[in-house]
Amino acid sequence: MTRHRRWINRGVHAAWRWLERAGEIVPGTRAADAFGSLGEGSCIGFPAATLMGVGSIHVGAGTLIGRQVTLSVGYGANDQRAPERGLVIGDRCVIGARTSLTAHSSIVIGDDVWCGQDVFVTDASHGYQDAETPIGRQFGVHQPVAIGAGSWIGHSAIILPGSTIGRNVVVAAGSVVRGVVEDNAVVAGSPARVIRRFEPGVGWVSAAGDVRPMLLPLRDPSPGGDLDAVGSSAQV
């Protein structure tokens, strides 16, 4: 690579880093003012994929939302029927890159919910009952979605309309969830099923009934070191 090309490459990357920082949506920016609310210390990465109906989107404090994320409420930018609080995201959440949260009635995400990348959550789908009408024109029934505080939604998981996920739930990567998931459970598969649950006084019990020991954090061999890197998805 020639010196000239190296300098161009360096300049492009420096400019892109500047754009990423300058384009972030944070409290006090004009873009943030358009949201229903955006809490202190929260940030939406740049560039976003789609931001629609932002006046109906409410984000708590200290929440980080990654790049190329879709946040939308309603059926269009000027949908007068969009609910006032169509998409609500709690405090201290992490929403991974390329995640899509599309609300038409209500999606509520509790505090301290972490999502991996490429997660898809929606409260409406398409119907298919009329064989003569294109499916894309058959709008399904709105069914609110709720994700409880402290839950972890793994990479590429799909949360379908009408789902209610309890508190401190692990949804394994690639799972498809529909229905009600109890508190303190691990679900996996398509459709997702409970494969482990926490029973007070007993511990984590698999669906087959055997007790699984609690996993301890990995220890860094260096003095005083900790590697808090035991991934839930790796243990499902």
- Of all residues in the chain, what percent carry a pLDDT higher than 70? 87
Q: Measured in whole angstroms, how far is the alpha carbon of residue 170 from the centre of its chain?
A: 13
What SS3 state is found at 85? Answer: coil
**pLDDT tens digits, one per residue of 31-57:** 999 999 999 999 999 999 999 999 999
Give the integer Cα–Cα distance in Å for 190 and 58: 30
Whether residue 236 has pLDDT greater than 50 = no
pTM for this entry? 0.84
In tens, the pLDDT along 142-200 reads 999 999 999 999 999 999 999 999 999 999 999 999 999 999 999 999 999 999 999 99
pLDDT for res 76:
84
Q: What are the residues whose beta carbons fall under 8 Å from the beta carbon of 63, sequence distance 6 or more?
A: 39, 41, 42, 43, 89, 90, 91, 92, 93, 94, 95
Q: Is 71 exposed, middle or buried (0-12, 13-18, 19+ CB in 10 A)?
A: buried
Alpha carbon separation from 87 to 37, 50, 124 (Å, rounded):
11, 14, 13
Contact (Cβ atoms closer than 8 angstroms) between residue 107 and residue 123: yes
Which of 68, 38, 29, 30 is CA-nearest to residue 56? 38
The average pLDDT across 203-213 equals 69
Give the pLDDT confidence score for residue 214 in this predicted structure.
44
State the catalytic residue, choosing from 13, 126, 142, 155: 126
Helix (H, G, I), strand (E, B) or coil at 108: strand
Active site residue 126: yes
Q: Is the pLDDT of residue 209 over 90?
A: no
Residue 150 half-sphere exposure, CB side, CA atoms within 13 Å?
8
Distance spanning both ends of the chain, measured CA to CA: 46
| 132-147 per-position pLDDT tens digit | 899 988 888 899 999 9
Euclidean distance between CA atoms 23 and 38, whole angstroms:
15
What CATH topology corresponds to 25-235? UDP N-Acetylglucosamine Acyltransferase; domain 1 (2.160.10)
